[in-house]
Structure 1
Amino acid sequence: MALKLIIVSDFVCPYCYWLETLLDRLGEQLEIIHVPYQLTEPPAPRIDVWNDPVRRVRYAETLGPVCQAQGVEMCLPPRVIPRPYTDLAFQGWCFAGERDRGESFYKAVFQAYFVDERDIGDLSVLTELAENCGLSGQDFRAALVAGTYTETVRRQSRLSRDLLGIHMVPTILSGKKRLEGFVPNLIELKAWLDAVR
């Protein structure tokens, strides 16, 4: 039976993208439920991570070596100024999920931001990603413009913060056990997964 995990993350968190690459390499059957956590929610001001020397150094020291060792391409940080809100991206993910394209859209959003340095807060970019995942761009755009999934994403964000008590991403939950923050390699991830089985 596949181990069930709840993974709380944000599309603009490099440690979340790194975790996704580890999970892809794990080679195990896992039942994953993704829950959004927006690092910056409207109307809070968006931040400029590109010109932030503290983040640049931290990413270079923590993620730089592991990405290089594993051959993972990632712009640290991406040159998208300011860092986008992710509410629209999560709404797009909800749309895609209802049409059995949630996982491919999820991965495409991370790739667009961390590899291609695209603004994933831009509806045109998200619509293109949806079309690349085999979805109707017209239906996708119409649903996001209409705010069809706005309340769903708000509710899921409240779930992560209030009910699950999440204060950092990524966070992996399995039952009452949780693993928070940067997971540097497959060995540590496997050890944690073995401990919660």
Structure 2
Amino acid sequence: MPTTIDVFVDYVCPFCFLVEPAINELKRDRDVEVTIHPFELRPTPVPTLRPEDDYLPRVWEQSVYPMSRRVGIPVTLPSVSPQPRTEKAFMVLQLAHEQGKAEAYSEAMFAAFFQQDRNIGVDDVIIDIATSVGLDRAEVEEALQSEARRDRQRAAQDYAVNTVGIEAVPGIVVDGTVLRGVPSASRLKKVVDEVQS
């Protein structure tokens, strides 16, 4: 029986994009079922970060760019300022989940922000990304306006914080065990092996 892996991400977190090779290796080498969950780092009304301030360029120079080179995923600090909110993108993630396209959608969302410097908080951009992975335009537009989906996103955020105990992303939960930071593929496999033994 596959081991359950829950991966909590925010589309404005570069480490959530850079952990993908480790998760892909885990999926290739172990019997696991991976589910992507939303975790908005700075939900309304918390201000989002600005690339022209000191913090982001420093973190990127010290941590993001070295990790990017190590895992072989090219990324660039996006120029969008302030950084977009991701609630709407996560409302469409619900639709992507329903249609078995959550991983493709999430990967496209990360690529749009960190490789194409697109504002993933804007409806037109979200629609374009969603349709590029095969979601229906009318359904995406409907998802973006859906108060039920907005309520579900807020409930998912509450679940991540108050039930699972996620404080930062990526948050990877292996059969109930929360791993902090960006684990290597070998660490992920070791945790899965311990769970499965």
Q: Which has the larger displacement, 162-171 or 141-150? A: 141-150
Q: State the shift of 1:190 in Å.
A: 3.0
With CA pairs under 8 Å and 6+ residues apart, which has the higher RCO, 1 or 2? 2
In the alignment, which residue of structure 2 is the partner of 1:11? 11
Identify the residue that residue 90 of structure 1 maps to in structure 2.
Answer: 90
Is the alpha carbon distance of 1:78 and 1:196 closer, same or farther for their aligned partners in structure 2, counting shifts above 3 Å? farther
Equivalent pairs, count:
194
SS of the residue corresponding to residue 47 of structure 1 reads coil
Deviations 1:86-133 (A, max 9, x none): 100000110122122222112111111111111111110010011111
* Cα offset, 1:73, TM superposition: 1.1
1:51 aligns with 2:52: yes
- String of CA shifts for 1:7-40, please: whole Å, max 9, x gaps: 1121111111111232124423420122211111
Residue in 2 aligned with 1:81?
A: 81
Q: State the one-letter code of the partner of 1:160.
A: A
**d(CA) in 2 for partners of 1:10, 1:22:** 17
Q: Is the 8 A contact 1:109 1:129 kept in 2?
A: yes
Q: Could you tell me which residue of structure 2 aligns to residue 135 of structure 1?
A: 135
The corresponding residue for 1:190 is 189
The answer for the alignment partner of 2:33 in structure 1 is: 31
Amino acid at match of 1:64: Y
State the match for 1:120 in structure 2.
120
Whole-Å separation in 1 of the counterparts to 2:128 and 2:33: 28
| Deviation, structure 1 residue 44 | 2.4
**1:71 positional shift:** 2.1
Structure 1 runs not aligned, ≥5 long: none
Q: TM-score, normalised by structure 2?
A: 0.89
Give the Cα–Cα distance (whole angstroms) in 2 for the partners of residues 176 and 101 of structure 1: 24
Deviation at 1:170, TM superposition (A): 1.2
Q: 1:56 to 1:188 in 2, by over 3 A?
A: farther
Give 3-state SS (helix, strand or coil) of 2:36's partner.
strand
Q: Offset at 1:5?
A: 0.9
Question: What letter corresponds to residue 166 of structure 1 in structure 2?
Answer: I
Counterpart position of 1:174: 174
Q: What's the TM-score, normalizing by structure 1? A: 0.89
Gaps of 5+ in 2: none
Q: Deviations over 1:147-168 (max 9, x none)?
A: 3411111111000011111111
Q: Which runs of 4+ in 1 moved over 6 A?
A: none
Q: Distance in 2 between matches of 1:30 and 1:52?
A: 40
Distance of 2:81 and 2:32 partners within structure 1: 35
Q: Structure 1 residue 41: deviation in Å?
A: 0.7
Task: Give the whole-Å Cα distance in 2 for the aligned partners of 1:134 and 1:72.
Answer: 24
Instruction: Give the structure 2 partner of residue 69 of structure 1.
Output: 70
Whether contact under 8 Å (1:177, 1:196) holds in the other structure is: no
Moved more, 30-39 or 185-194: 185-194
Q: 1:58 to 1:32 in 2, by over 3 A?
A: same
Tell me: CA distance 1:43–1:15, structure 2 relative to 1, closer, same or farther (3 Å). same
Identity of aligned residues (%): 26
SS in 1 for 2:119: coil
Cα 1:122–1:189 change in 2 (3 A) is: same
Question: In the aligned structure 1, how far is the partner of 2:62 from the partner of 2:78?
Answer: 16
